[in-house]
Amino acid sequence: MTYFLGIEFLRNEQGILMHQTRYASEILKKFEMDKCNVALSPAEPRSQLTKCAEEEDVDPTFYRKLIGSLRYLCNTRPDLAYSVGIASRFMERPKGSHLIAVKRILRYVKGTINYGIMFPASDRGKECKLIGYTDSNWCGDHEDRKSTAGYMFFYGGSPISWCSKKEPVVALSSCEAEYIAASLSTCQAIWLKNLIEEISQDKCETVTLKIDNVSAINLAKNPIAHGRSKHIELRFHYLREQVSNGNLALMHCRSDEQVADLLTKAVTVQVFEKLRSEMGIETVDNMN
């Protein structure tokens, strides 16, 4: 297989690269951005988009077409997930600043058109464990003060699942925001664990979930911390249940090694390029 539903597959001794170069090229031509200047990252560091009532409206149909096209590109480009997700929040009444932000994403796509997800050829010597990273940007949305949660799961060192989304409730602390993000990630972790067991017919080991917030880990392991968690909705304590029954193991990781950071906020170019590489995103040029 080399091409399927707009997704291309490039195979050599290193492994398989799954990319959407042709589709990305078609998007740029369709929206007349094929001759634009390139950007080194999809969003300005620490940028914040708001509803901006005083700004001029832009054509909502055109804006939605842009977002829809970019959303499909996220199937092989987790590095776009956060920026496209933020821009998606303004589809009802997009403004000029929102369109500028989306065009910045297209400028980044122009400079990284050959990038995709790398699946190594051999897993010999590698442990095919399911490992997840989860993070949250506390009160990241200036409109409703809800946090943005992100997670990414690797199996055998390759990314297989990722998400960047707004949390359903307002968190009262960074610890609570991280706890809620970890709980949302837990639902995906258990589903992936069951799926792998169903496909391989082998029992999947305990899923490791890496979090860069020690307080959130302690809250999940220690149900006695009632004063700090009694207001948290019961559904988010699914995390605690999975930790106690051994399906999930929480592990602390340093903030600079938190891959999911890229799914929760706009970072500097240096940090972005480092985390993008750790996500397993490679370029077609490296396969030739």
Q: Are 168 and 232 in contact (CB under 8 A)?
A: no
Q: Which band of pLDDT confidence, cut at 50, 70 and 90, is reported for residue 42?
A: very high
- Of 63, 64, 79, the C-alpha closest to 264 is 79
Instruction: State the pLDDT at residue 234.
Output: 73
Q: Quickly count: other Cβ atoms within 10 Å of residue 58's Cβ.
A: 19
Instruction: State the pLDDT at residue 227.
Output: 61
- Domains of the chain: which residue ranges? 3-117+280-287, 123-253
Three-point CA angle 136, 142, 145, nearest 5°: 55
Q: Are 167 and 146 in contact (CB under 8 A)?
A: yes
More confident residue, 63 or 226: 63
pLDDT digits (tens, 9 = 90+) for 91-132: 989 999 999 999 999 999 999 999 999 988 765 555 678 999
More confident residue, 47 or 244: 244
Instruction: State the pLDDT at residue 254.
Output: 92
Instruction: State the pLDDT at residue 288.
Output: 66
- Pairing status of strand 248-252 against strand 207-211: parallel
The domain 123-253: what is its CATH number?
3.30.420.10
pLDDT digits (tens, 9 = 90+) for 127-156: 678 999 999 998 878 778 899 999 999 988
Q: Name, in order, each residue with C-beta under 8 angstroms of 28's C-beta and a sequence gap of 6 or more.
A: 34, 36, 106, 109, 110, 113
